[in-house]
Structure 1
């Protein structure tokens, strides 16, 4: 059998984003998609400030033009009608991608099967799956999460969330991006709330910690907030949880094997945002493949990784310091400039405004520690 042009390992945000573009553009190559989970369900949401329209824009669950960041001492509200905050359910993104895949008779979805072995061939790769079937492909795009051991300043972003439904659930027009909890846990802990409509909202508890946080303990935090709000009788529609590496994962593009998505370094180390960066990468990757060029690996500017390391290093001073820095960041930087910067699409003036908003002495000390640790 003729080899596939592309084989995707893992049908996550990166694979779904690229194959949707390729299908919509009538890409002539043959594609195999290997997904070990038979039915991923509705297990996550992707949020952020979109810089451009993307193939899933019409399936956004909600967009908000107002947001807030707070701690026990202070609160700041901000917003933008030009650059609203966007939420997408993974199930909605998947339905768009699956419809695109189904429209191609020469594409194959191998659900419920995982990669067992890979061997380089003269032209590409021979992949052996766990059912002993084989797939030959010219290029492999691998989205499997890497195994990482993080060291300071890099941290894990662990979160547990519940989408709940009930009467009178508060203001539906303002996102609570961060409501910090000044507890004893390093490096920072906060609640995150997305009011989907007046009767439904997603509540998450997030920790930035040196090692992955305990999901059971974080679930107790979510349940506690729901009780304090008087919503203990609300119906839980779905739950989600994950551990994300807030670290600069290096790109990998070797011997026709490319790592993509978070595995390839698409996630911004200091923020955890990845979905909209993946859209930017997918635009470029689709253009390259349609022109007959090689699929590129995700890239990030080295200076931004260094700056993210300095910022995360500064947060190790303690939870109270971390929460105050975020509050001041959202207070002092204009919303559109900060949104572009957080999405790794900042202009030079945006970056300057962010740097001017941060406390000089602590940031210089963090820069010295981070640079010394890297040398």
Structure 2
């Protein structure tokens, strides 16, 4: 028989945004009756999230510090004409840690995992088995809504953890290695050294197409490892340790790189009067597609509240998302130049020039908090794309519009 469950706040979607929100609310409002709902059996899915130390304000670090699995004091970038070590902290979170911390911090009744959602309203969540959750307020954090109202290119990737018994030799992350052959747009390889013998390698493309050929990109990871001289662990049959019995981590994804569009149409596509968080709210960096910094800010902002009524939650999350969209027209303009003015195999020149700039500017860029001086510096000097094409691209797209 179907049951009715009543609570104060129901969070739909136990990914990064939903998990951080649940942790922040549980910490700041220990008597609040929460429900965290997801079709998956675990919190966070199967992901690695990384962030720069400057992405998270000091006042908000309490939210993510228990989740950090790996940390480094610096990171490297490499381009055909420029390589550099940047002395800024960099961190990674594994989804298994997020799952463990959420389970430890929330009571058992709060976790409604392995439950498929059939319908969501501002105050109710109906599950596929007929159970119904009635809440003072519902927050939808299930991932992207309809991306149709947004003009976007794509950042797509395949990442795989490798075991190199003789050692991979990396002392710190390689956030961008763009010395690789440029294919399917701007291509770079990203490496996270988890231990002297474990390294996560991700092959990434800033592409005009959202299609992802997993097998082809996975083979390029093998080729990259071989080019570095890494002898990857093999089983008795001579096959690499992945994917036989799937002993190591692998993930893939396609993220929007937003050039413009109608924010309000995007918001309505996820539920007109429904409070939202994460990708569902449009709270992700237009250039990188990453949502962790915004997810932390959202969790902190909601945790500071005392009114969790549905209308108040909607208004608060909409105001935050709208203000963020309006503040980020500069990044959408740069994305337009990258995708519309630069030839696909020449896009690396844009990032190559960017990574010659002040590390503090770079940090503010990734945090989505560039100053007016930063913006002027990024645009100063000879542009790495043809000026005429850049002007035509900007005029033709209306990039940066804050509709």
The residue number in structure 1 matching 2:20 is 17
The residue number in structure 2 matching 1:217 is 216
Secondary structure, in 3 states, of the residue corresponding to 2:249?
A: strand
Conserved 8 A contact 1:4-1:136: yes
Structure 1 residues 244 and 115, CA gap change in structure 2 (3 angstroms): same
Aligned partner of 2:393 among 355, 362, 369: 369
Question: Deviation per CA, 1:294-335, whole angstroms, max 9, x where unpaired?
Answer: 33324254455332222222223223431111111111x211
Aligned partner of 1:159 among 157, 160, 184: 157
CA–CA distance in structure 2, aligned partners of residues 12 and 195 of structure 1: 24
* Aligned positions, number: 362
2:342 is equivalent to residue 337 of structure 1: no
| Structure 1 spans left out of the alignment, 5+ residues | none
The residue number in structure 2 matching 1:76 is 83
Conserved 8 A contact 2:43-2:99: no
| Structure 2 spans left out of the alignment, 5+ residues | 234-240, 243-247
CA–CA distance in structure 2, aligned partners of residues 242 and 3 of structure 1: 35
2:96 is equivalent to residue 91 of structure 1: yes
CA–CA distance in structure 2, aligned partners of residues 340 and 328 of structure 1: 16
Conserved 8 A contact 2:170-2:193: yes
**Which range moves more in the overlay, 129-138 or 230-239?**
230-239
CA–CA distance in structure 1, aligned partners of residues 41 and 305 of structure 2: 30
Taking the TM superposition and a 5 Å limit, the aligned residue runs for 1:247-326 are 247=258, 250-251=266-267, 257-289=274-306, 294-295=312-313, 296-297=316-317, 298-299=320-321, 300-302=323-325, 304-316=327-339, 317-326=342-351
Conserved 8 A contact 1:311-1:366: no
Conserved 8 A contact 1:70-1:179: yes
Q: Shift in Å at residue 68 of structure 1?
A: 2.5
**Which range moves more in the overlay, 13-22 or 170-179?**
170-179
Question: Deviation per CA, 1:195-245, whole angstroms, max 9, x where unpaired?
Answer: 122211110011122332222221121122123334353244211111212
The residue number in structure 2 matching 1:327 is 352
**Which range moves more in the overlay, 188-197 or 346-355?**
346-355
2:40 is equivalent to residue 32 of structure 1: no
CA–CA distance in structure 2, aligned partners of residues 32 and 226 of structure 1: 43
The residue number in structure 2 matching 1:200 is 198
The residue number in structure 2 matching 1:241 is 252
TM-score calculated relative to the size of structure 2: 0.80
Conserved 8 A contact 2:9-2:139: yes
Aligned partner of 2:9 among 6, 16, 32: 6
Structure 1 residues 164 and 147, CA gap change in structure 2 (3 angstroms): same
Q: Shift in Å at residue 373 of structure 1?
A: 2.1
Question: Deviation per CA, 1:3-38, whole angstroms, max 9, x where unpaired?
Answer: 322111110111111111111123433222211011
Conserved 8 A contact 1:48-1:85: yes
Q: Shift in Å at residue 370 of structure 1?
A: 2.8
Aligned partner of 1:57 among 48, 62, 65: 65
CA–CA distance in structure 2, aligned partners of residues 347 and 325 of structure 1: 19
The residue number in structure 2 matching 1:356 is 380
**Which range moves more in the overlay, 154-163 or 341-350?**
341-350
TM-score calculated relative to the size of structure 1: 0.86
